[in-house]
Amino acid sequence: MLTKKHRSDADRKFGNPAEHFGALDADSAQRLALAAGDIALVLDDTGHILDVSVDEREFPDLVEWAGANWLETVTIESRPKVMEMLAAARKGEAGRWRQVNHPTSQGDVPVRYALVSLSEGRHLALGRDLRDAARTQQRLLQVQQALERDYMRMRQLEARYRMLFDRSREAVLIVEADSHRIREANPAAYKLAGVRPDSLQGKKLEGLFHSGSRDRLANQLGSALGADAAAPIPVRLAKGSREAVVTATGFSQNRRQYLLLIVNPTDESTPSDDHALASVIEGMPDAFVVADEDMRILRANAAFVELVDAASEEQLHGRSLSRLIGRPGIDLDLIAGQMEKEGVARNVSSVVRTLSGTAEEPVEISSVATGTEKDGEPRHFGFVIRPIGRRLRDVSGAGEELPRSVEELTDLVGRMPLKDIVRESTDLIERLCIEAALLYTSDNRASAAEILGLSRQSLYSKLNRYGLGKQGEETR
């Protein structure tokens, strides 16, 4: 079936064209052509433009077309359409409207053309300017895109609202103001009412409360519709006769009034307790970290974020704690083993590295574990990390503090090269021998030097080096 756009000229002929158009002169034909289109081109069979009729104000770049080929006045993408129209006109076939684009100094101009045969080898191309239609289509597209963006924003807002609604610890109900029927309820409301999910929609609100509280509740709902905020009231729930506090707020939507009810049982701790605990942990001067059973960071307070030189807690979330604390594969395993054996670990000496790995700080770590594999609960580890670098510097004074025991030497493994540890070990043995000689000789430096096989000057130098006495002092 031919559509209006593609039907032939035979379907659209006048009944008596000779009577109506037989006396049509050239001037009348020209006015007819100008009224039919915004552009009129007279072409030969090859597409050369023999004459042009165009409004110079609307098409200032098109007035010089006379003598040019029609193909040269259109964009490359439009040339196949022009060739098809010319071929159909040469065969005497009925033409149909085709859109082509003309390049101008103001950009491409869309024009819709139809070819009409005038005489042997002559054709008339009637063109209609589509710029207004293109602008209208562009505005329509922009409106459609704006609607889609608004729709997407509404979907995102709805998703956020639904997440907050479902995850709220408070029981929240949305109720029709006129019928007091429940429209929506969050999971906390189902749990508080002691009913299965999705069983409250359409039920009367009064059924959730004890008969002695219903009149008080009805008065409060009426007050909420007439005021910006109604004072909370104590009520008794129907399930288990539990005490609760109800807060109601009225709002309008789609020309209907609704009530937003928040129900808090009075026999449960409020979420503010958790908020206070979180605030205390966040403000602790010592670093605090919570890790999962794979020792990956779940939470960290501001002190730990500052200690490892991170930008924020989010930057640390999910990172392996072993990359920041202790010798890799040693300290955390030792702490975990101690917690497994004793339940806690206290004051374990270790180091904390910065996130970039360019610096480290001596620390003491205390930790505790929650959950056990036997209970089937996920295990979590809490670490309190206290920097002790300043304390060590205060103790060491101006001189460099040497290890004082074998245990302190072994703590250096992983924190400095072996050759440095060997040097520290030599200094430790030398100092211990000098201390033993001084003790044996009752602090007689001359006798101590003889026992050690050193000259007095050499002994005095070593005493000064290890801070064991002032050079030149000698007890006889």
The answer on 461 and 384 residing in a single domain is no
The answer on 121 and 49 residing in a single domain is yes
Would 251 be classed as within a structural domain? yes
The answer on 336 and 364 residing in a single domain is yes
Banded pLDDT at 288 (limits 50, 70, 90): very high
Angular region, 318: left φ>0, alpha ψ -120 to 50, beta rest: left
144-166: pLDDT as tens digits:
999 998 888 888 888 888 888 88
Banded pLDDT at 16 (limits 50, 70, 90): low
Check pLDDT > 70 for residue 168: yes
Q: How far apart are CA 185 and CA 234, in angstroms?
A: 20
Would 473 be classed as within a structural domain? no
> Which residues, in sequence order, are CB contacts of 262 under 8 Å at separation 6+?
170, 171, 172, 246, 247
Provide the β-strand partners of residue 173. 185, 261
The answer on 447 and 372 residing in a single domain is no
Point out the domain boundary residue: 238, 268, 298.
268
Structural domains counted in the chain: 4
Provide the β-strand partners of residue 153. none
Would 158 be classed as within a structural domain? no
402-455: pLDDT as tens digits:
555 666 666 666 566 677 777 777 878 888 888 888 887 878 888 888 888 888
Of 118, 119, 100, nearest to 110 by C-alpha is 100
In the three-class reduction of DSSP (H, G, I as helix; E, B as strand; rest coil), residue 192 is classed as helix
Section 263-277 average pLDDT:
68
116-129: pLDDT as tens digits:
887 777 888 888 88
CATH of the domain at 204: 3.30.450.20
Would 312 be classed as within a structural domain? yes
388-412: pLDDT as tens digits:
865 544 444 444 455 556 666 666 6
Banded pLDDT at 346 (limits 50, 70, 90): confident
Helix (H) or strand (E) holding 49: strand 49-54
26-59: pLDDT as tens digits:
666 667 776 777 788 888 888 888 888 777 777 7
Print the domain residue range for 458: 406-466
Please name the residue that has the structure tokens 């400095």: 416
Of 220, 231, 232, 225, nearest to 258 by C-alpha is 225
Would 117 be classed as within a structural domain? yes
Are 372 and 386 contacting, i.e. CB atoms less than 8 angstroms apart?
no
**Report field, pTM of the whole predicted structure over 0.75:** no
Would 303 be classed as within a structural domain? yes
The answer on 353 and 420 residing in a single domain is no
Tell me the HSE value of 275 on the side-chain side, using a 13 A CA sphere.
Answer: 5
Are 365 and 345 contacting, i.e. CB atoms less than 8 angstroms apart?
yes
304-319: pLDDT as tens digits:
988 888 888 888 888 8
Dump the DSSP string for 293-333. Answer: TT-BEEEE-HHHHHHTT-S-HHHHTT-BGGGTBSSTTTHHH
The answer on 222 and 324 residing in a single domain is no
Point out the domain boundary residue: 268, 296, 324.
268
Would 450 be classed as within a structural domain? yes
Banded pLDDT at 3 (limits 50, 70, 90): very low
Q: How far apart are CA 225 and CA 219, in angstroms?
A: 10
Q: How far apart are CA 317 and CA 309, in angstroms?
A: 14
pLDDT at position 238: 84
pLDDT at position 398: 40
Share of the chain above pLDDT 70, in %: 80
pLDDT at position 395: 43
The answer on 45 and 121 residing in a single domain is yes
